[in-house]
Amino acid sequence: MAYFRLNLLISCFIICFTSSVNSSVCFWNSGCPYKYFAGKTPYNSVRGDIRDSVINVKGCEAVSIWGLYKHGKSYPNNHYAAKMEGAVIIRNYLQDSQAKGTCSLCAQDVENLKNWPIDKKVFKGLNELSDEGYQEMVGLGRRLRAVFPNLLGNLEQGEYSFRPTSVDKIEDSAKAFIEGIVNKGLELDKEKDYVMASHTTCEKYEKEVKSNSKTYEEVVKYQKSSEFLVTKDRIQRRAGLDVALTDDNVTALYDLCRYTWSEIDNKPSPWCAIFTSDDLQVLEYLEDLKTYYRSGYGTPMNKIFGNIPLTDLLKGFQEAKEAKGKKITAYFSRGTAVDMTITALGIFKDEKPLTGAKRNRDRKWRSSKLSNFGANIMAVLSKCEKEGATDYNVVFYLNEEPIKAICNEAICPWTEFEEKMKEYSDTKLDFCKTD
């Protein structure tokens, strides 16, 4: 498998390199389009496959699954939808600039944009789960059922917990996940607690982090950097526009690219033709700076909120060991909760903080792979019988791939797991109230 992936990567490099040498760089026939769009990356662009990656230890059987899931791909809200709809007019300018010879996009790319069928749902500001997002979550549920048929095959009342926060697209994601598990009669928890979104009820977080301009200082700094300004200029020149693009213009075009990309159908968005791979990497870093400080390592408070899910995980598995727990506990929330939990675990942490002064190309904090659409952190508790003795172990997964950074070879013996999780158990949120 590793050999196959290596050869596929080499082949992809050769195709891209050859096309860039022998002809103009055209998006429509590129064999390797860049498809990492920060938090708006489709799940199927970055996920693993639990059916291939599951870690099975001889003599062990899964007895409980705990998971935190971001909602699947969704439509934009009113704010972004309106700006995206306004940016569609650029199609007309592209045709004019092509006629003048000032547009460097390939003719087929311009034609594809001209003929792009408008999906009215994208511009209605629905902020709801898309059809692709629903399929993403159904697929995840099906793969889990395929790997753990004995555990998830016949769930009865009291053996499961599917708990979304009170947002339509998140509830629909949970329903799709259940559909994938194919258990008739399974219901969502009626109690809408905020175990996985405690930050949303914290006044201090809202005031000092989310709504604080200081949180985005590195973002603003990067938008003024030579690299970002060169990127804006390159986009403008590539499109042959006479008017200088604003930051909002660039964001709207970027959103058109990433919201209209379908990975389920393997259909790259023609709007992405406006950007080079370098442009998309710059825009991705801008988004990474936002999440790094708003929900990641850049702000100490974020780790505290990430402790809450891990406390729940430990409690759930302790109960499962005593045969009093759930076979599956699944929480559904936003990408912010996933970011915060990753931060609490201390994984994917860069040695130096991300800054707007210079893009860290080799950074570990990549929202495209950490809090993409459908992003998930799962832990599987297994009961092991060996030479008449009973023991337990835990394996963590991120987007269906084992997380090896937590324990040796991704397998945590129970004592090590319990010791690691206990540090989160004393978390208090009494600091949240502000005067």
* Domains in the chain: boundaries: 34-76+128-244+273-432
Contact 306/338 with Cβ under 8 angstroms? no
Q: Could you report the per-residue pLDDT of 210-224, keeping only the tens digit for each?
A: 999 999 999 999 999
Buried b (16+ CB within 10 A) or exposed e, 254-273: bbbbbbbbebbeeebbbbbb
Q: β-pairing, 328-333 with 389-398?
A: unpaired
Closest alpha carbon to 61 in 327, 314, 318: 327
pLDDT band at 197 (very low <50, low <70, confident <90, very high): confident
Task: Give the CA count within 13 Å in the CB-facing half-sphere of 212.
Answer: 14
Judged against a pLDDT cut of 90, whether residue 317 lies above it is answered with yes
Running DSSP on this structure, what letter comes out for residue 432?
G
Mean pLDDT, all residues of the chain:
92
Residues in Cβ contact with 302 at an 8 Å cutoff, skipping those fewer than 6 apart: 199, 209, 294, 295, 296, 339, 340, 343
Q: Is the dihedral of CA 288, 294, 299, 304 positive or negative?
A: negative
Q: Can you tell me the mean pLDDT for 156-184?
A: 93
Contact 313/319 with Cβ under 8 angstroms? no
pLDDT band at 7 (very low <50, low <70, confident <90, very high): very low
Instruction: Quote the CA–CA distance of 166 and 146 in Å, as a whole number.
Output: 29
Judged against a pLDDT cut of 70, whether residue 4 lies above it is answered with no
Q: Could you report the per-residue pLDDT of 333-364, keeping only the tens digit for each?
A: 999 999 999 999 999 999 999 999 999 999 99
pLDDT of residue 193: 61
10 Å Cβ neighbour count for 188? 16
For domain 34-76+128-244+273-432, which architecture applies?
A: 3-Layer(aba) Sandwich (3.40)
| Residue 124 identity (one-letter amino acid) | K
Contact 110/20 with Cβ under 8 angstroms? no
Name the helix (H) or strand (E) containing 62. Answer: strand 60-70
pLDDT of residue 24: 59
Residues in Cβ contact with 82 at an 8 Å cutoff, skipping those fewer than 6 apart: 123, 125
10 Å Cβ neighbour count for 435? 3
pLDDT of residue 2: 41
Closest alpha carbon to 197 in 302, 329, 327: 302
> In terms of C-beta density within 10 A (0-12 exposed, 13-18 middle, 19 or more buried), how is residue 226 classed?
exposed
Cα three-residue angle 350-352-357, rounded to 5 degrees: 115
Q: Where are the alpha helices (DSSP H) in 260-379?
A: 277-294, 301-321, 335-345, 367-370
Q: β-pairing, 160-164 with 411-413?
A: unpaired
pLDDT of residue 435: 62
Q: Could you report the per-residue pLDDT of 31-73, keeping only the tens digit for each?
A: 789 999 999 999 999 999 999 999 999 999 999 999 999 999 9
